[in-house]
Amino acid sequence: MKSKSTEPGSWHPVLSRRRFVQGLALGGTAAMMGGFVKPAWALTSSGQPNVLSGTEFNLDIAEMPVNYTGAARLATAVNGQVPGPLLRWREGTTVTLRVTNRLRVPTSIHWHGILVPFDMDGVPGISFPGIAPGQTFTYRFPVKQSGTYWYHSHSGFQEQTGLYGPLVIDPAGPDRIHADRDYVVMLNDWTDMDPARIFAILKKQSDYFNFNELTLPDFVRDASMLGLRGALEARAMWNKMRMSPRDVIDVSGFTYTYLMNGATPAGNWNGLFKPGERVRLRFINGSSNSYFDVRIPGMKLTVIAADGQDVEPVAVDEFRIAVAETYDVIVQPQEDRAYTIFAQSIDRSGYARGTLAPRPSMEAEVPAMDPVPTLTMVDMMGAMAQGGAHSMSGMHHGSMPGMDMPAEQLPPHDLDPAGMVKAHHARTEYHNPGVDMHVDWPRTNLDDPGAGLRDNGRRVLTYADLHTLGGSLYPEPVTHEIELHLDGSMERFIWSFDGVIFSKAKPVHFPAGQHIRLILCNDTMMNHPIHLHGMWSEVESPERHFQVRKQTVNVQPAQRVTYRVKADALGRWAYHCHLLYHMEAGMFREVVVA
């Protein structure tokens, strides 16, 4: 294992690797006299957090001491809990939430995926000024939907320091899904480091936290498959682009302790069942920067909802959950034994885990993590690699020439004779030090589980498996198309839409009442979970048929995804990558519906 350093006296993860991966056995909240107590969620007999239900809520945001790794730190908590209390609403009611800021800095709460008036959305600088220290802001809005959602801060790095919590909305009538048990399973990433320092380090050295780079044994393996010349050419290609095929996430388990319902892996959150019962698990990825691949060895997972919306049930062994996504699954354990809920990080640098068991404090075997994913030509070149092309003609690096066309004035999509869709790059993407590469022929398929999950021997969920019940809410013809490219410079840690960071970007305008097709093309080699506030995003199949309704859409490397939006929510809205450090680095736009 290697140690990295950017400055004298900097952090050395080698010394604390196991502590970060496993966490303390007791996890959670630090007691004041040098001992430790379990997180607030572990204190309830149901294995769930304190539940606040009804229509009137008082939420206090304040600092709270925690200790997950053996080092005392301050978290940003809601009502003295990390995660915050589970809020339970009912569809068709009007809720009032009085949020009081007891911090020394401004704060906010955004109701992720909830359809609210824009001035209740909780994004400082976009929908309201924020909540000043010592002040109380009252959110009040009708509840128009049901399902599994969450809430979090939209101020600075407070989401990374603990300001998040689960949100469940019961349907106005009987629930379509019968379950004997109902558990929230919230996944988060905790760091003892100051998030501002993490961001500063990423700006100086973007691969600082990546300890999974290719090694000599990897080269020997590649040489056996590709020949010595082929292996050397592959290494030279990556070096020329100043990229790494192992750079799948920015901050890893060498820094993070991964949490499940506020408990570290050693803390082992427990959910109880009786054999034969139907158990509903509401998975929420409330992390700041981490993707998880989730499975329960020995049990099938029947996915019944995505981002709060019911889908046709689909049975899988595993699913990848992007930052900010939610998935509801039904499991039905038959045996009188424990089962491990295993959520490994996308780069295999750590995991969160808990246990479903018939009796408290039981444990099952924790599986070994899968091999570290290595990005392929498909993740770089998109459809060109899928079509068997071996040249680099489908991908421009840096500021090479290409199409020069405003992104918001688009003709119908172009097809080559093989049926591949050509991307239309904005002129701002060229001659731009903040753009590493351009993918001219992105892949459009939705049936790829992604790097690290392909051909792993398990049945893995993809967007192609998801079909929202009831069909589209937007059957009318599309009146406007807007193509935006997800761009970045890995070396400089700059992230943007169309090569323009938020501080230099003009708002994107949605004409009120119109039906918009958003076309997102990922010109980078990282996944990006893109979240549009205030409106549903209806993902389309490659043939432009309705697929699944979501509020966060993950776009894989070198992929093109389209989705429809009805501009029926007047006001100013945030539109951004939900990787916190990417958003902070510029992958954010304001959308104006007027």
- Range of 8-12, 25-29, 569-573 with top mean pLDDT: 569-573
pLDDT band, residue 50 (cuts 50/70/90):
confident
By CB atoms closer than 10 A (0-12, 13-18, 19+), residue 133 is exposed
Mean pLDDT of 271-297: 97
pLDDT value of position 559? 96
pLDDT value of position 394? 37
Mean pLDDT of 516-540: 97
The tokens describing 28, both together, are: 């959670």
Choice between 350 and 234, residue whose per-residue pLDDT is larger: 350
Q: Tens digits of per-residue pLDDT, 199-230?
A: 999 999 888 887 665 554 554 555 555 566 65
Round the CA-based radius of gyration of the chain to a whole number and report it: 23
Q: Which of 40-44, 89-93, 523-527 has the lowest mean pLDDT?
A: 40-44
- How many whole angstroms separate alpha carbon 144 and alpha carbon 213? 47
Q: Tens digits of per-residue pLDDT, 167-208?
A: 999 999 999 999 999 999 999 999 999 999 999 999 998 888
The two most distant CA atoms of the chain are separated, in Å, by 71
Peptide bond into 83 cis (omega under 30): yes
Q: Tens digits of per-residue pLDDT, 449-465?
A: 999 999 999 999 999 99
pLDDT value of position 455? 92
- Please answer whether residues 448 and 382 qualify as being in contact, where contact means their C-beta atoms are separated by less than 8 angstroms: no
- How many whole angstroms separate alpha carbon 337 and alpha carbon 352? 20
Mean pLDDT of 134-157: 98
Q: Is the pLDDT of residue 2 over 50?
A: no
pLDDT value of position 217? 59
Choice between 249 and 40, residue whose per-residue pLDDT is larger: 249
- Range of 9-23, 249-263, 367-381 with top mean pLDDT: 249-263
Residue 128, beta-bridge partner list: 124
- Please answer whether residues 573 and 593 qualify as being in contact, where contact means their C-beta atoms are separated by less than 8 angstroms: yes
Q: Which of 184-198, 220-234, 296-310, 319-333 has the lowest mean pLDDT?
A: 220-234
- Please answer whether residues 332 and 279 qualify as being in contact, where contact means their C-beta atoms are separated by less than 8 angstroms: yes
Contacts of 13 (CB under 8 A, 6+ apart): 3, 4, 20, 209, 211, 254, 255
Contacts of 266 (CB under 8 A, 6+ apart): 22, 23, 24, 25, 27
DSSP per-residue letters across 160-229:
TTT-EEEEEEE-SS--SS--SEEEEEEEEEEESS-HHHHHHHHHH-TTTT------HHHHHHHHHHHHHH
Q: Tens digits of per-residue pLDDT, 418-441?
A: 567 889 999 999 999 999 989 999
> Locate tokens 């068997």: which residue?
388
CA dihedral 162, 64, 114, 249 (to 10 degrees): 0
Q: Which of 30-34, 185-189, 318-322, 426-430 has the lowest mean pLDDT?
A: 30-34
Residue whose C-alpha is closest to residue 572's, from 536, 516, 532: 532
The tokens describing 213, both together, are: 């780079």
Per-state percent for the chain, helix, strand, coil, to nearest 5: 15, 35, 50
Q: Is the pLDDT of residue 157 over 80?
A: yes
Mean pLDDT of 345-354: 96
Taking residue 31's Cβ as centre, other Cβ atoms within 10 Å add up to 11
Average pLDDT of the chain to the nearest whole number? 86
